[in-house]
Structure 1
Amino acid sequence: MTQAVSATLAEFVATCRWEALPDSARAAAQRTLLNAVALGIGASRHPAVVTALGVLRDLGTPPESAVLGRSDRLGVTTAPLVNGTAMHVQDYDDTHLRTVVHPGPPIVPAVLAAAAHAEATGADAMAALVAGVEVALRVGNGVCPEHFDLGWHLTGTAGHIGAAAAASRAFGLDPDSTRVALALGATQAAGLTAANGSMTKGFHPGKAAADGVEAALLAQQGYTGPAEPIEGRRGFANVASPRADFTEMVTGLGQVWEIVGNAIKPYACGIVSHAAIDAAVALRGELGGEDVEKAEIRIPKVVLEVMGIEDPADGLQSKFSVAHCVTIGLLDGDGAPPQFSDERAQAPDVVNLRRRVIAVVDDSVAKGAAHLRLETARGRVLEREVRHATASAERPMTEERLERKVRGLVEPVLGEEGFQGVLARCARLPEAAGLADLLAAATGEGRSG
C-alpha cells in the first residue's frame, strides 16, 4: 500500500516550529538564508534579472514585495520570480549533495515574499524555510537518480513543491490547505536540464518560488486539489520518474534533517566540477609563471555529462565547461562570478589555455574527485589529486569563507554598510518581530549617504 506521503508532508509543514528544531538544522537554515540573500543582491544587475524585472514591471504588478539589491518592488507572486532567478543565475548557490537540488533559490524567495505579506515573525519565516527545504529535498530523495537522469532539473521540479510548502507555512495554513498547495506545486513542477548554460536555468527556481506563493494563496482561499498529488498513481513521483521510493520521502521526517546536508558553493559553476577547480588552484602556486602545454583532467563520467561544453560562447555556458573551470583555476586562482563572465569566457588567455585542457572520463576517479596532470613548456610534470572538493561533506565551507563570499556579493552593490546590515539582520531574523529590517538592509533602504 502506498504511503500517505502528501498528507504526512503537509502535517509536518503545518506544525514545523523554529524553537523545536535541533541546533544543527537551525544553523544550516541560517547559512542557507544568508547565502541566498547575498546571491540575490549580487546578481541584481545580471541581464537575466534586469530583463525579468522589466517585463514584470511593465505588466503593472502591485509594488508590495521587495526585489533584493534594488529599490524596485513587485507583486507578492512576481518578486519571487526575479529574486529566485537572481539567486540561481550565477550557479553560485547551494547544493544538496545527494540530489543536486539547489534549495535556496526556490525556497528563500517564496519565504521572503509570503512571510512579509503575512506579517509573520522571523521565527515563523525561518520555520517556513526549513519546512520548504525539507520537503523539496525529501521529494528529491524519493525520485533520484532516475528523475535527474531523464533530464529533469530538480531545483525546478522538487523546488516547486518545496516552495509551496514554504509559503504555506509562512501563511500559517492548516494541514489540509497545505496539502492543496503541495498539489498545486506538484502539478506545475517543471525544469529541464537542457536549459543548462542559459538564462532559462535561472528561471526554473524563480518560477518555482512564484508558483509556490501563488499555490499557498489559492489554497488559503479554499482551492481544492487531489488527495495524493505526490504519491498517487498519476501524481508527481510516478509520472516524473520510472522509480519512486516513498519511504525516502517520509522516514525520519522531523528527526533526520536533510537541510544539514545542504552545501554552500565556493565556485560559481556546476558543483561536479569543483574538485577540478580545487586541483587547478592548488597547482597554480607550483607553476611559478610557466606556460602550460597540456592539462589533462581525469574525472568521473557525470562531470563530462554535465560540464562537457568545450568552447563556451559566453559566461553562462562557461559554467558548464570543465575545461573552462580548470583554466580559470590555473590563471586566476578562483572561480567566483567574475571568472564566469562573458568577458572572461572569451578572453584570449583563457581561450588559449582552455584549448589545451583535455577531459578524460576515468571510472577509477570517485564521484566528487578529480586528478589533474600538467605538462609545462619547460618539460615539468605537475599532478594533483583532489578526493573531496571544497564544500563537500568532508570539507564543508567554513564560516569565514562564507562571510568572504557574502561580502564579495553584497559589498559591490550595497557597500560596506549594506554588507554589515545584511550579515547582522540575517543572523537576527529568528528573534525579529518580522522581515522589515532584513528586507530594508537587503534592498539598501535607509542607508546613510
Structure 2
Amino acid sequence: MSFALDLARRVNRLAIGTMPEEAIHVAKFCIADTLGVSLAGQDEPVVQIATHTLEIERAPGPCFIFGSKVRGTALDAALINGAAAHALDYDDCSTIMGGHPSAPVVPALLALAEEMGASGKVVLEAFICGIEAEIRLARGLLPHHYEKGWHPTSTLGVFGAAAACARLLNLNDEQLARALAIAVSLSNGVKANFGTPTKPLHVGTAARGGLMAALLARDGLSANPNAFEQEQGFFDVFNGQGNFNINAMLADRDGALELLSPGVAIKQHPCCGSAHSAIDAAIKLRKTNGALKAADIESIETQTHARRLAHTNRPDPRTGLDAKFSVQYTTARALMEGTIRFDHFEGDAFMDPTIRGLLSRTVSRPHNETNEYLGRVMVTLRNGTTLRSEAVTPFGRGQDNPMSTDELKDKFMDCAIRTRPATVGGRAFDEVMMFDRLPDVRRLTAILAESAA
C-alpha cells in the first residue's frame, strides 16, 4: 500500500460522531482564531497586492475575500484569505508541525464550503481531518525538515488543506490519496523569505494548492501513488534519505487526535512564536521587579534555543515586519511595556528611540537544552544588580493552559475591530461558537462580508 493511500484511509476513518466533544470545542476555537487574525490582516500589503494581481474584479465568484468588496472564485479566495490568515503572524501554532496548522486549512475549507453551501458540522469534521493529515506528516519529518530551510506551514499545510477539502467533497480513499499525491507537486515555501510579505504568501499558495489538488482528484487527474516515498519523491527531496520516519507518521492508528495531543496552541503575542519564550520571561521579570527605566539598564541578554534563535536573531530590524521576527526587539518592548501589541510593528514604531537604545545593549545567545521552548532573560542594571527570569512557552496557549472562551473572544474582537464594527465582530464570533449547529456556512461569511473595506 502506498503511503498516500495509507494516510488517506486513516483520515477518512475519522468521523465527527465518534470524536470527543473536546475536539469539536478546540476546532471551533481554531476556526474562530483564524478568522479573527485574518480580519486583522486583511489590509496588509501581501493581501492587497495579491487581490490586485489576481484581478478579482474580472474573475468574480461566490466566495468571500478578506479586504475586498468583491467576491471571487474558491481558488482565489483560498489564496488571498490564506495570506491574510498569516499576514500578522498571529495565527495558531503546533510544536510538532513547527508552524501554523489552521492558517492553510481554514481558508481553503471555508471557500469550498461557501461554494457548496456546506453545514458547519461537516466543515468541522473536514477541518479536524486536515489537521490530522498535516501534523501526522510532521511527526516523521521534523525537526530536520525545518532546519533544512523549509516552511512547514506551507510545505505541509498544503496536505492539510488537500485532506480537508477532499473530505468535504466526500472523496473516497483512492481519490483522497490522489489529492495528496497531486499536492506533493504543489508543496513550496522556504525560510529565507521569513520576515518579508512573501512568508504569508506561502500560506496562501498552500491553501490554494490543497484545494486545487482535491478538486483535480475529484475530476479524475492522476498522479504517482508513490509520490511521497519513491526515489525523488517528497520525502527524498524535501528531507533526504535517512532524515524521515514513515513509521512515526503512521503510528497510533487509534491514538488521540493530533488536534488534542499535543494539540494546537493559540498565540498571545502578534509576532513570531519563536520569540514568545523570551517575551514571556521579560513580562514575568517586569511583574516581579516592577517597571524598569531604560536609562537604568546597562545590558540585556536573552537565551533561546538555537533552533528558535536561527530566524529571530535580528538585532537591527529595518521594518515593522522584520521586528516581528526580532527576539531583541520584542524582548525590549516586553520589558518596557509589559505587553506586545499590534502597534509595536506598525509604521515606524520599530525606530522608537528608547527601544533602539536598548537594542544596542542587547545580546542574544543560543542554548541547546532539551526543552527548546525555554527562554531566559537577564537584565543588568547600572547599579550592578542583575535580574533574571525564564519562561517555557511552546508558541502559545495549548491544551495544558487553554484560553477560555472569554479570552479568545477578547483576542478575536481586538483583531476584528481593526476592520469591522464591534457588533459585526461579536456576531461573527458567536456564529463560530455555534458552528456545529450552523446549517450553511454562508450565514457566517455574510456577516464577515458586512462593512468590508
> What TM-score, normalized to structure 2?
0.92
In terms of mean alpha carbon deviation, does 370-379 or 105-114 score higher?
Answer: 370-379
Query: How big is the shift at 1:51?
Result: 0.9
Aligned to 1:440: 446
Alignment of 1:39-78 (within 5 A): 39-57=37-55, 60-68=58-66, 70-78=68-76
The aligned amino acid for 1:106 is P
Query: How big is the shift at 1:443?
Result: 2.0
Select 2:279's aligned residue among 272, 277, 280. Answer: 277
SS in 1 for 2:97: coil
Aligned to 1:328: 333
Select 1:27's aligned residue among 14, 25, 28. Answer: 25
| Per-residue Cα deviation, 1:249-288 (whole angstroms, up to 9, x for no partner) | 2222453211121111111222121111011122234243
SS in 1 for 2:265: strand
Query: How big is the shift at 1:16?
Result: 3.3
Select 2:84's aligned residue among 71, 83, 86. Answer: 86
Alignment of 1:356-375 (within 5 A): 356-364=361-369, 366-375=371-380
Aligned to 2:267: 265
Aligned to 1:137: 135
> What TM-score, normalized to structure 1?
0.93
Aligned to 1:314: 319
Aligned to 2:186: 188
The aligned amino acid for 1:125 is V
Query: Do the aligned partners of 2:4 and 2:178 also contact (CA within 8 Å) in 1?
Result: no
Q: 1:394 to 1:272 in 2, by over 3 A?
A: farther
The aligned amino acid for 2:259 is I
Query: Do the aligned partners of 2:57 and 2:70 also contact (CA within 8 Å) in 1?
Result: no
**Could you tell me how far apart the structure 2 residues matched to 1:195 and 1:56 are?**
21
The aligned amino acid for 1:270 is C
**Could you tell me how far apart the structure 1 residues matched to 2:232 and 2:367 are?**
39
**Could you tell me how far apart the structure 1 residues matched to 2:445 and 2:56 are?**
23
| Paired residues, number | 444
SS in 1 for 2:201: helix
Query: How big is the shift at 1:352?
Result: 1.6
The aligned amino acid for 1:376 is L
Query: Do the aligned partners of 1:136 and 1:161 also contact (CA within 8 Å) in 2?
Result: yes
**Could you tell me how far apart the structure 1 residues matched to 2:110 and 2:393 are?**
34
Query: Do the aligned partners of 1:70 and 1:444 also contact (CA within 8 Å) in 2?
Result: no
Aligned to 2:104: 106
SS in 2 for 1:94: coil
**Could you tell me how far apart the structure 1 residues matched to 2:316 and 2:135 are?**
33
Aligned to 1:197: 195
Query: How big is the shift at 1:216?
Result: 1.4
Aligned to 2:307: 302
Q: 1:69 to 1:427 in 2, by over 3 A?
A: farther
Query: How big is the shift at 1:190?
Result: 0.8
| Per-residue Cα deviation, 1:44-99 (whole angstroms, up to 9, x for no partner) | 11111111111112572223211135433121101111111111121111111122
The aligned amino acid for 2:123 is A
The aligned amino acid for 2:45 is P
In terms of mean alpha carbon deviation, does 343-352 or 125-134 score higher?
Answer: 343-352
**Could you tell me how far apart the structure 2 residues matched to 1:394 and 1:359 are?**
28
Alignment of 1:279-294 (within 5 A): 279-285=281-287, 286-291=289-294, 292-294=297-299
**Could you tell me how far apart the structure 2 residues matched to 1:17 and 1:347 are?**
52
Aligned to 1:255: 255
**Could you tell me how far apart the structure 2 residues matched to 1:163 and 1:293 are?**
49
| Per-residue Cα deviation, 1:6-28 (whole angstroms, up to 9, x for no partner) | 11222234443222211232222
**Could you tell me how far apart the structure 2 residues matched to 1:232 and 1:116 are?**
36
- Does structure 1 residue 422 correspond to structure 2 residue 428? yes
Query: How big is the shift at 1:31?
Result: 1.3
**Could you tell me how far apart the structure 1 residues matched to 2:254 and 2:134 are?**
14
Which runs of no fewer than 5 residues in structure 2 stay unpaired?
A: none
**Could you tell me how far apart the structure 2 residues matched to 1:17 and 1:116 are?**
21
Select 1:431's aligned residue among 428, 431, 437. Answer: 437
The aligned amino acid for 2:135 is L
**Could you tell me how far apart the structure 2 residues matched to 1:420 and 1:52 are?**
28
The aligned amino acid for 1:381 is T
The aligned amino acid for 1:95 is C
| Per-residue Cα deviation, 1:273-317 (whole angstroms, up to 9, x for no partner) | 111101112223424342222111122212321211110101111
Percent of aligned pairs sharing the same letter: 27
Query: How big is the shift at 1:106?
Result: 0.5
Query: How big is the shift at 1:388?
Result: 4.3
Aligned to 2:246: 246
**Could you tell me how far apart the structure 2 residues matched to 1:378 and 1:401 are?**
39
| Per-residue Cα deviation, 1:99-121 (whole angstroms, up to 9, x for no partner) | 21211110000110111112222
- Does structure 1 residue 406 correspond to structure 2 residue 406? no
In terms of mean alpha carbon deviation, does 77-86 or 7-16 score higher?
Answer: 7-16
| Per-residue Cα deviation, 1:377-418 (whole angstroms, up to 9, x for no partner) | 444432212244652564444443322211110122112211
Alignment of 1:322-401 (within 5 A): 322-364=327-369, 366-388=371-393, 390-391=396-397, 394-401=400-407
**Could you tell me how far apart the structure 2 residues matched to 1:224 and 1:77 are?**
20
Query: Do the aligned partners of 2:124 and 2:436 also contact (CA within 8 Å) in 1?
Result: yes
Q: 1:14 to 1:387 in 2, by over 3 A?
A: closer
Query: Do the aligned partners of 1:5 and 1:249 also contact (CA within 8 Å) in 2?
Result: no
Q: 1:365 to 1:15 in 2, by over 3 A?
A: closer
**Could you tell me how far apart the structure 2 residues matched to 1:24 and 1:74 are?**
34
Q: 1:123 to 1:364 in 2, by over 3 A?
A: closer
Query: Do the aligned partners of 1:56 and 1:78 also contact (CA within 8 Å) in 2?
Result: yes
Query: How big is the shift at 1:154?
Result: 0.7
Aligned to 1:154: 152
Query: Do the aligned partners of 1:290 and 1:378 also contact (CA within 8 Å) in 2?
Result: no
Q: 1:392 to 1:216 in 2, by over 3 A?
A: closer
The aligned amino acid for 1:73 is R
Displaced runs of 4 or more, over 4 A: none
SS in 2 for 1:264: coil
